[in-house]
Structure 1
Amino acid sequence: MNNQIKYISDNPIAYPPFAELSQLDTLHLSGQHGRLGTNLPQNFLQGLTNLSVLNIRSSEFNSLHPLFFNYTRNLKVLYLSANYFTDIPDNLFSPIQKLKSLYISQTHLRSLDFLLHANLTELEFLQVRKNAFSVIREPVMQSLSALVYLDMLGNSFTCNCDNTWFLQWVKNNKQTQVYDAYNFECNYPPNLIGRKLLEIDVRSCTVDMEFICYISTACTVIMTIAVSFTHHFLQWHLVYAYYLMLAFLYNSKHKNKRAHQYDAFVSYNANDEGWVLGELLPKLEVKQGWTLCLHHRDFQPGRPIIENITDAIYGSRKTICVVSRDYLQSEWCSREIQVASFRLFDEQKDVLILVFLEDIPMQQLSPYYRMRRLLKRQTYLSWSRADAHPDLFWEKLQQALDTQEHPMGEHLRLTVV
């Protein structure tokens, strides 16, 4: 003790002073009056394989080589206080994992993060008084799983959300005694200087997970109910709104460019193709000379179906919807009538003709609210009621096609009874 060790470099030396003292248990080198900035060679402790207590406090050392403790793997107690260790290498303490007590006060330490890599799982006593760190991070304390006593009096603590975890840990942990914790004082921010650290209210910094879980669960339940309600009661309204928007965009884009290529676009279900090809097509195209647009014949291959549908409806003077139960259940037929009905109400002209192949009670049309509204105000024909007067049916259909696109409300009532 109280000598003048003056090693300038931490490079290995040829003759380590303790090479022959393998049975030495305790070594005190405190109070060395070397000049400021003195280092110790990295193999200074070579040979001390059974050393359990090492005291090099108050010796004006400013650093230790990362391999300094490689020769003292049985070290239990280490005094490093009152030196100038501003920073400590991350792996400095890795070789001495049996360490029980560490004294490292008054060394100008700015952080305790070096303990994260030390793997000091047996450390029970830690004294880090009067250093320069202000925030204690959770991983540092969690890495010291055996810690029983912690002394960090005289440090300058930050009293904000950065130390929220440390405040709660000091108050709630049952294993580690934090010496004189109720006298820890704030050093930042300026308006809290001098206040007691443990008196700071940090509730605004913590996240109430129970409340968040409650809100999340409540929102999930509400959304599930809303989606279920919407799917059950408003499904067709949403489908209609979607295709209404598509038709609106198409109409805005092509309003001044389109010309009527066909007299009528025929919207029908594939199961009703026999009637369309066997009855409708011969009567209207072959005998009466109307030009019809049929999806299986006139749609352009390779284009998106919805574009073909929209072009066909707006490229025809009128749209004939061949309605049956199969038609009502068809997704693509539903899209076609949505676009056609949008054109009907957008242009305010009689451009839609409904042909019912079979009698469908009004209550069965309840899911198809748009169809029910059209039936109340729009031209429609019933093939199922035309058995006795088929010629009248075709005459009425020809009248519907022949009439000009007059304003809605002035259309002919063409139901065949």
Structure 2
Amino acid sequence: MTMPPSLISLPISGNPFTCNCQLSWFMNWLRTTNVSLGHEDEILCSSNSFSGLHNKPVWSFHPEEYCDINTILVSGVSIALVVVAFLCLVVYYKRWWFNHKMFLLKLAVIGYDEITDDADPDDYEYQLNIMFHDDHTQWVNEILRPALEERMPHLHKVAFGDEALHPGMYYLNALYHNLDNSFKTALLISNESVEDAWFMTKLRMAVEHVNDTKLDKIVLIFLEDIQEENLPYLVRLLLSRNKPYLLVTEDEDGQELFWAQFKKEMRANKVINSVIPI
């Protein structure tokens, strides 16, 4: 609405005005005009006005206090968004550290009560039997073997892949001998290994041995992320039974979590009361 410049008198007293942001232009005009408005003390805000202005003179309505951008609020929201984004980045990059601490906190607060086998790892011919694809031989010799010697020096009887198979035995018989005479068997899972028929035979034999002994002696170690659709049925079946798995990562906190979980897995063999369908 545009006020005509020839306007002299505008008697608006007694009319209830809705004092909200839509009235801002009119209030600005009232404060700058010399037009006679009648009884100014009777120009009141209606009950539909902003809270605190009901039945008060329209002169008490200052649009800049209600309708202008609240710089404090905007600044606060902006800072909060930046802080949340920063925390999300920190959590992402330090996710292994958080996982490790949550793992330790869970053990400390909740603990765990499992039925385990009383056999001692030293009672076996091998404390640990590691099965892996031939492509990972160099990684095992250069990274895993030294790390085991440094972090778990008490494991002095470890069978590393096919090199530890007993000579003179048929291949499958030698594989089963190491499975049967090892406290734990760790299988290194990768995209190459799950596509290899011989490795999958080793995994199937390990699962059959678990069913025979009723002891959960398998440790799954993932060397890399594998798409779910590329995981073999047997691996997905083991994971669906809430079986913990370990993931090798280059992140330092992730490595600490890996070894903490690995040491826990090596403490005892859980007793199972049902077979794994294969």
TM-score (ref. length: structure 2): 0.49
- Higher relative CO (CA 8 A, sep ≥ 6), structure 1 or 2? 2
Larger radius of gyration: 1
**Bigger proportion of residues as helix:** 2
